[in-house]
Structure 1
């Protein structure tokens, strides 16, 4: 295989190079630079194909027949005539499956179900803007919430973009559909008060069925970490005296990945949390062992915990239901309301600072206050 030389093509000539494993043509004409992907992997045979295309372009430039739109030179898209909407999205799902959490993959499956309902046998190449508008009208008539509708359209748009990159398609009729869905602002769930936090932790500690979750719940409330981060915490992530913890992984229904933002952070724990962790640590802990486990010693199942333990405790206390993830919202709200620097809060919770400001501006202590009249 010929490696790219890195040299510029002479005026009127077209060079062939390997770009990310695929052959690409590059040239200059009338003061402009052009690049055209051949869509083929780098090999001796494919370089001959690329050379034939390059020769055509060179002859057109010399004869005054050059097509500046490049449509004349683009490779013919393969398999488009037989690729249905459903098959395209299934291929897109397969390409993403290994990198997705089960919860995210569920959204892809739901989107696929919608496409099967409206476009069961339609070819992907025949979908146009009118079809996309028809889908938007159809999904709205089904009573799907705006936020879910928007999520589905984002995935479909991404599938078509992927199809174009894979040389299956040449246009994306879904580009403008997402902007047509207006998602109304939604009030955040009310954070738990300090009294409610204490009541919940105490209730877990004294409950005959769910007391083994007490340390896990207190850790969530007092660190603000994501539930999957706490579930995936291993003993090797704590230092020897349990005074600090490294958070860089998450565990969701058996799938271990990096954190949601793919960032790691180290948190210095409070003396209270340090004592809780020291008390539960085995004499010779397995570095790979989980810090918080279910009653049977396995990983905590977030659905099981929420539907049984969490709901039960809130009902006992007569508290309005809020998801376990609200422990994170509660931590951030209390930290900001006490005047803690938002940048420091973001460092503790693994947020992007701008995202934290956007989502929690209403609880920052320096927010504008109405005057007494």
Structure 2
């Protein structure tokens, strides 16, 4: 199989390369680089097809008829016959790859594998509601949870919506996957119980007394005291705090070495309690590095959430006699207790970075914050 070339092609020349098992074209025009997936696996015959497409593009560039939108050159822009289910989803993945972090694409890769196993080279245009239903029934038998099954179907539905909008499928074609997502019944899950005040005290004291994990004490207090997402607390840098540590800016998160915006892509500023302010002042170096992390692991690096949960958190909760709940429950606990204290839900949502409806639906789990039946 020909190797992908990294050589620069002359201007106006379209090169053919293999990318993730599929053929794509690359070229430069008017100072801009272009890449176009053919949607076909790398083979001798398919390279001939790709060369025909490349020649069309080269001729259009030479004659001044180049289509800057690329619609003219995309596989089957007006007629989707021949574009496979797998090929369509691969094009969708290539589109999403420009907007998502590599780890976020894992679920797309998993979905692609199921499509490859079931549909093989079947045309995307041939998929109707009956075919989609048969795939859904097959998928539910693959030892997937209903939640994961729905997630896979949601991605396929999104791929079809994108394919229709981007002219990879025939304009006006209905999406056969819409109803399939709704047919997967996901049983409601009971929210985990928030930690009680006594449990919170026991956990913090457990970390203070721990021979191995006491250096996490401030981090745990910060989680309980702010309701931050764990990745937000892990990614907190000294430049995000005011000089007197009375308030913090939260607009970034850090997960296993990957720094990005918060989950909702919205920043917020929080005024801290006196207790948290004094704790951070004690931690603050005399001349802190602006990009330095506020909370670190024992070895001085960023806290690994999996390692913290599996070792420190599990160990301390067990020794403290507290029923296990994930560290993320510190956020749920903060919101529930704040609402029980009578805080305005709008203010709580501003502190935690939620919208009010999401806050009530997903986090208001303590008894006092629930609607009560009237006494008759």
Normalised-by-shorter TM-score class: 0.7 to 0.9
User: SS state of the match for residue 323, structure 2?
Assistant: coil
For 2:334 and 2:204, the matched residues in 1 are separated by 14
Report what 2:180 is aligned to.
177
Query: Where in structure 2 are the equivalents of 1:1-373 lying within 5 Å?
Result: 45=65, 77=77, 80-101=80-101, 104-170=104-170, 171=173, 172-360=175-363, 363=366, 365=368, 367-370=370-373
Deviation at 1:327, TM superposition (A): 0.7
> How far 1:102 sits from its partner (Å)?
5.4
Q: Distance between the aligned counterparts of 2:85 and 2:151, measured in 1?
A: 18
276-285 or 177-186, which moves further after superposition? 177-186
Q: Is the 8 A contact 1:339 1:364 kept in 2?
A: no
CA distance in 2, matches of 1:256, 1:308: 23
Query: For the aligned residues, what is the CA RMSD?
Result: 2.9
Where does structure 1 lack aligned partners over 5 or more consecutive residues?
1-39, 50-74
Q: TM-score, normalised by structure 1?
A: 0.75
Query: Does the Cα contact within 8 Å between 1:111 and 1:152 map onto a contact in 2?
Result: yes
Larger Cα-atom Rg: 1
Deviation at 1:365, TM superposition (A): 4.0
Residues 314-338 of structure 1, C-alpha deviations (whole Å, 9 max, x = no match): 2222332211111100100111111
Shift of 1:145: 2.3
TM-score calculated relative to the size of structure 2: 0.75
Change (3 A) 1:241 1:92: same
Contact 1:102 1:253 in 2 (8 A): no
Question: Are 2:85 and 2:119, in contact at CA under 8 Å, matched by a contact in 1?
Answer: yes
Evaluate the alpha carbon distance shift between residue 347 and residue 182 of structure 1 in structure 2; reply closer, same or farther with a 3 A threshold: same
* Distance in 2 separating the partners of 1:103 and 1:331: 29
* Structure 2 contact 85–122 (Cα < 8 Å) conserved: yes
Is the 1:102–1:252 Cα contact (8 Å) retained in structure 2? no
Count of aligned pairs: 311
Alpha carbons of 1:370 and 1:77: their partners in 2 closer, same or farther (altered >3 Å)? closer
What's the counterpart of residue 53 of structure 1?
A: none
84-93 vs 356-365, greater mean Cα deviation = 356-365
Deviation (angstroms), 1:125: 2.8
Cα deviation, residue 76, structure 1: 5.7
- 1:78 to partner: Cα distance: 6.3
- Indicate conservation of the 8 Å contact 2:332/2:364, yes or no: no
Which digits, 9 at most, give the CA deviation of each residue in 1:257-306, with x for residues without a partner? 11111111110111111111111111111101111111222211111111
Gaps of 5+ in 2: 1-56, 70-74
Over 3 Å counting, the alpha-carbon distance change for 1:366 and 1:189 in structure 2 is: closer
For the residue of structure 2 that corresponds to 1:176, the secondary structure is helix
Task: Answer whether contact 2:237 2:293 (CA < 8 A) is retained.
Answer: yes
Contact 2:191 2:365 in 1 (8 A): no
Note the C-alpha offset of 1:90.
2.7
